[in-house]
């Protein structure tokens, strides 16, 4: 697995661990349960910290509360949709596929300076032996002229696109086809909201099975 893939796996695992630790004392309150019309509330008794609501109606599900709010639309029973399309390898969620079902303008991906750096480092490492100049000098130039500009995506892409290095012993180095490189990763708030949906559905179904 590439460094970029490893970074993404680390983010997914971190979000899952963080969520699991935050809901050990949460309880469910059913405010409405009328076939596909549901309103469930999840809170730690005595506090609203890290609490959320799940609201469904035919074809739609909204998660909202002390998390980022997201509105999804796909099939009539959205509990069935989320319960049936998660991946164990991603902690029981399916962030890319589910993100495509978001309604409105809620952001579920964001620029990652870490992924940007990893793309640059991997490309340099794979091509360093083809460079005819001083590789140490080249790497120093990449650090100064590209990797020091990673706070914002527009700035990072501009630095990458404009980079040209001519070594003292000759040989040019630049980055090619960088417009194809994606430097975004899942927003951590989005991942927490997905875990809240899956956790809430399991809690609801367990309660229904016992009743």
Query: CA-based angle 104:106:112, to the nearest 5?
Result: 145
CB atoms within 10 A of CB 30: 12
Question: What is the number of structural domains in the chain?
Answer: 2
68 with 22, same domain: the answer is yes
pTM over 0.85: no
End-to-end Cα, the chain, rounded Å: 45
Per-residue pLDDT band at 199 (split at 50, 70, 90):
very high
Query: Nearest CA to 133 among 190, 162, 174?
Result: 174
104 with 118, same domain: the answer is no
DSSP strand E in the chain: where? 27-34, 37-43, 52-57, 60-65, 70-73, 109-111, 165-166, 172-173, 184-186
Buried b (16+ CB within 10 A) or exposed e, 152-183: eeeebbebbeebebebeeeeebebeebeeeeb
CA dist 193 and 92 (Å) reads: 13
How does pLDDT run across 14-39, given as a tens digit for each residue?
999 999 999 999 999 999 999 999 99
CA dist 171 and 129 (Å) reads: 12
146 with 74, same domain: the answer is no
Q: What pLDDT was estimated at residue 1?
A: 45
Contact between 43 and 51 (Cβ < 8 Å): yes
Per-residue pLDDT band at 205 (split at 50, 70, 90):
very high
Structure tokens that stand for 90 in this block: 């991603």
State which residues form the domain around 50. 3-109+187-210
On average, the pLDDT of the chain sits at 91
70 with 55, same domain: the answer is yes
63 with 164, same domain: the answer is no
How does pLDDT run across 72-122, given as a tens digit for each residue?
999 999 999 999 999 988 989 999 999 999 999 888 999 989 899 999 999
Q: What pLDDT was estimated at residue 49?
A: 82
71 with 141, same domain: the answer is no
Per-residue pLDDT band at 211 (split at 50, 70, 90):
confident
171 with 194, same domain: the answer is no
46 with 137, same domain: the answer is no
The secondary structure of 38-73 as a DSSP string is EEEEEE-TT--TT-EEEEEETTEEEEEESS--EEEE
123 with 34, same domain: the answer is no
CA dist 46 and 140 (Å) reads: 55
Contact between 19 and 38 (Cβ < 8 Å): no
57 with 136, same domain: the answer is no
How does pLDDT run across 160-179, given as a tens digit for each residue?
999 999 876 667 899 999 98
139 with 152, same domain: the answer is yes
Residue 154 pLDDT > 50: yes
61 with 155, same domain: the answer is no
CA dist 121 and 142 (Å) reads: 9
């Amino acid at each position: 697995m590439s460094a970029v893939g490893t970074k993404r796996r680390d983010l997914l695992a971190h979000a899952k661990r963080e969520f699991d630790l935050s809901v050990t004392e949460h309880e469910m309150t059913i405010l409405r349960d009328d076939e596909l019309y549901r309103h469930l509330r999840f809170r730690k008794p005595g506090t609203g910290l890290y609490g959320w609501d799940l609201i469904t109606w035919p074809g739609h599900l909204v998660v909202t509360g002390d998390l980022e709010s997201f509105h999804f639309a796909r099939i009539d029973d959205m509990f069935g949709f989320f319960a049936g399309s998660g991946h164990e390898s991603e902690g029981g969620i399916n962030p890319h596929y589910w993100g495509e079902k978001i309604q409105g303008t809620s952001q579920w991906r964001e620029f990652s300076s870490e992924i940007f750096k990893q793309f640059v480092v991997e490309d340099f490492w794979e091509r360093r032996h083809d460079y005819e100049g001083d590789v140490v000098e080249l790497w120093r130039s990449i650090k100064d002229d590209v990797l020091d500009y990673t706070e914002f995506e527009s700035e990072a892409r501009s630095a990458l696109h404009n980079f040209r290095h001519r070594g003292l012993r000759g040989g040019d180095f630049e980055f090619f086809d960088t417009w194809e490189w994606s430097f975004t990763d899942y927003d951590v708030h989005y991942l927490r909201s997905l875990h809240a949906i899956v956790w809430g559905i399991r809690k609801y179904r367990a309660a229904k099975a016992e009743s």
